[in-house]
Amino acid sequence: MSVPLTQLGRTGLKVSRLCLGTMNFGVDTTKEDSFAIMDAALDAGINFFDTADVYGWKTGEGVTEQLLGEYFAHGGERRDRVVLATKLFGRMGNGRQTDWPNTQGLSALHIRRACDASLSRLKTDYIDLYQMHHVDRNTPWDEIWEAYEVLRQQGKILYAGSSNFAGWHIVKAQEAANRRGFLGLVSEQSKYSLMQREIEMEVGPACEDYGIGVIPWSPVAGGALAGIMKGQEGKRRNSEFAQKMREERGDQLNAWEALCDSIGEEPGNVALAWTLTKSFVTAPIIGPRTMEQLQGGIHAAELELSAETLAKIDEIFPPFKTSPEHYAW
């Protein structure tokens, strides 16, 4: 099958309904396996790749971005086929000096330097979607947007996105962009899964109103929704996090896995398919460590959950109303 396409927020940009997250590449997944996964993703119609300058978790090195740069350098129109998203905010350092000031955040200086460094590592002359990895409460929006405008005028970026923003941050950012006559945000990456549905109160509705596509990260709740109560032996099931989830939310997760068994589908795939039923969601991020996990995500994109199944899911994981309805009446 081919993963279907959709528009990224209110833009004319067409992206796949699954976004390939690369955080594991170069860390838990070898370069060779990462390349194979990216090739398979493209073959399946996944044209939306997400990374960040800090991925690889070696300050200042941009390990994962470098790996993607090697992948694009192999040719075969790989770069042209990909809508490439990366992020800035975290401390990166400057060469050997990882403790220099102005090497993190969203100052105009760091935005300029971070973008040039990412372009170099990624071996490309432009970034399709340049995302703020976190809100910077110390930098005014006019400074941030002016720096983004310069990058866009220089042809180094095409679109701007955010990540981990609260609803009111999105409003402040977008209103500041509107005053400048700038397109502003076209996407927001938020932590969103059945086990963490808070963005339904404000972030989701705000994004939908502004035409900002939501790109959920951790849609399987760090593996908790992938079948940790039974089966799924391995690293995630035996992790400290999984043990904590079994202790704190075991009854809920048992009910979840029983429901998935009743419809004959793997829990992780159902969790991913559920995010795709939300009107504000553009493309959940899948972060496969293996080819098998990639194939599971691709299968999830074709799953159709019945109204009855969706109602049962809401019984297990209660939803939020939009604000102020949720807390006012």
Catalogue the active-site residues: 55
At residue 155, φ and ψ (nearest 5 deg) are: 80, 15
Q: Facing residues of 213 across strands?
A: 187
What residue has token string 């089966």? 231
One-letter amino acid of 158 = L
> Cα(206)–Cα(173) distance, rounded to whole angstroms?
12
Distance of alpha carbon 221 from alpha carbon 196, whole angstroms: 8
- Which letter, b or e, does each residue of 222-236 get, where b requires 16 or more Cβ atoms within 10 Å of its Cβ? bbbbbbbbeebeeeb
Question: Comparing C-alpha atoms, which of 56, 74, 75, 76 is closest to residue 66?
Answer: 56
For the CA atoms of 157, 163, 167, 169, the dihedral, rounded to the nearest 10 degrees, stands at -60
**CA atoms of 161 and 170, how far apart (whole Å):** 10
3-state class of 242 per DSSP? Answer: helix
Element (DSSP H or E) covering residue 269: helix 267-275
